[in-house]
Structures are given as C-alpha cells and as structure tokens.
C-alpha cells in the first residue's frame, strides 16, 4: 500500500512540472479573433536526456525492438511516423478547443484556416516516458509556441515556451506515442487556459 501511495505521489508530482512562460509580445491582437490558424512543426527536435536527434532515436529503438522480435521494430517505426498526424496533432487541437469551448468562448484553433494570425507549434524536445506496470514515468514534451502574422510569418506577435509538459493517463499506457500525445494535450490545455486569462477574460 505504501508503495502504491508513493507511486501516486510521484506521478501527481510530475503533473505540475510544466513551465509555460511568455517570452515576448502580448495577447491584445487575439481579443476579437474567432479562429486561429495553427501549424505544427516536427522537423527538428531532440529526444531523451542525451538530446539525441529524432533519426538517431528511431534507428536505435527500431534496432532494439527488432533484436527482441524480428520485424517489430519496423512495425513500430511506421507507428511512430504516423503518430504525429494521427495522435499528437489531433490531441493538441481537441483538448485546446475543448477548454475554450467549455469556458463559453467562441474561438477555435483550426488547421488550414484563412485567418490573420497563425500559431506555430514547434516541437523542441521529447522524452517518451515508460510504463512497467506499477512503476511508470510520464512523457515530457517541450514546445515553442509562436503567434505570427499569417501573411508575414517573420512578424512574431507573441512567443511562449512550454517546458516539459507531462503526458500520462490513469491506469497503464504502454504506448510511447500515446503518452507523448498526452503531453501535447497538456500543452494545449495550459495554453488555452493562459489565453482565457490573458486574451479572452
């Protein structure tokens, strides 16, 4: 029982580890916006405590899985590639919009929207976490969030950093990709709450 309590405290401690900071700009331009275009940039992020490139992580993890069961690493690699479009991006959009909607605000994030402003969600660093049954560690996702003019994306109106957003679910979750998706969900939730406080209050 004591072990279980310790694990729950450990997991709950991670839930408050995210650090979201406004680097520059303000929220004034968002006040009258009903839709915000959003783009996701997964092109250049590092992974693990060693800051491996994504390519290095994928090759090493694929080789490890293949060494245990031939072919499993190749299957996993396909799941990893598809996770960006099928898990991470949808999780961010879904949770971000739910938080705004539940607060009664008529504003949404939409991919491909023709709007004056665009939010660029650039992934900086990912730690996939692990789940070994009774012991586990959540994923962590670090992102850079830039609100820019859609017609001139070099004009950054607001920049926010989100450090180590925790990704986990109740019960067991043995999928790295799913845990990471929860990190994007947490990022979106925190961002939407910040917008409610600063832009749509």
- 3-class SS string, 171-195: CCCCCHHHHHHHHHHHHHHHHHHHH
Q: Where are the domains of the chain?
A: 2-198
Q: Above 50 in pLDDT, residue 8?
A: no
Neighbours of 188 (CB within 10 A): 27
> What confidence tier does 11 reach under pLDDT thresholds 50, 70, 90?
very low
- Please report the pLDDT score of residue 173 as a whole number: 61
- Please report the pLDDT score of residue 51 as a whole number: 98
What's 71's DSSP letter? Answer: T
pLDDT of 192-201, one tens digit each? 999 999 999 8
39 vs 15 pLDDT, higher one: 39
> What mean pLDDT comes out for the span 159-185?
88
pLDDT of 62-120, one tens digit each? 999 999 999 999 999 999 999 999 999 999 999 999 999 999 999 999 999 999 999 99
pLDDT of 37-66, one tens digit each? 999 999 999 999 999 999 999 999 999 999
* Residue 145 burial by Cβ neighbours in a 10 Å radius (0-12, 13-18, 19+): buried
Q: Above 50 in pLDDT, residue 177?
A: yes
> What confidence tier does 31 reach under pLDDT thresholds 50, 70, 90?
very high
> What confidence tier does 147 reach under pLDDT thresholds 50, 70, 90?
very high
């Amino acid at each position: 029982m004591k072990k279980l309590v310790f694990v729950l405290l450990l997991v709950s401690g991670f839930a408050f580890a995210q650090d979201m900071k406004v680097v520059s700009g303000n929220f004034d331009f968002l006040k009258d916006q009903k839709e915000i275009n959003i783009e996701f940039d997964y092109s250049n992020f590092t992974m693990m405590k060693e800051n491996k490139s994504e390519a290095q992580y994928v090759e090493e993890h694929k080789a490890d899985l293949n060494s245990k069961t031939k072919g499993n690493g190749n299957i996993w690699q396909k799941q990893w590639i598809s996770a960006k479009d099928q898990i991470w991006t949808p999780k961010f959009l879904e949770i971000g919009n739910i938080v705004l909607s539940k607060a009664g605000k008529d504003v949404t994030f939409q991919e491909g929207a023709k709007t004056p402003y665009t939010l660029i969600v650039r992934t900086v660093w990912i730690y996939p976490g692990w789940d070994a049954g009774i012991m586990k560690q959540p994923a962590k996702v670090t992102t850079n969030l830039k609100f820019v003019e859609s017609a001139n994306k070099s004009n950054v109106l607001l920049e926010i950093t989100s450090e180590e957003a925790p990704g986990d679910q109740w019960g067991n979750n043995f999928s790295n990709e799913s845990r990471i998706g929860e990190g994007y969900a947490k990022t979106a939730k925190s961002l939407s709450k910040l917008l409610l406080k600063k832009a749509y209050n």
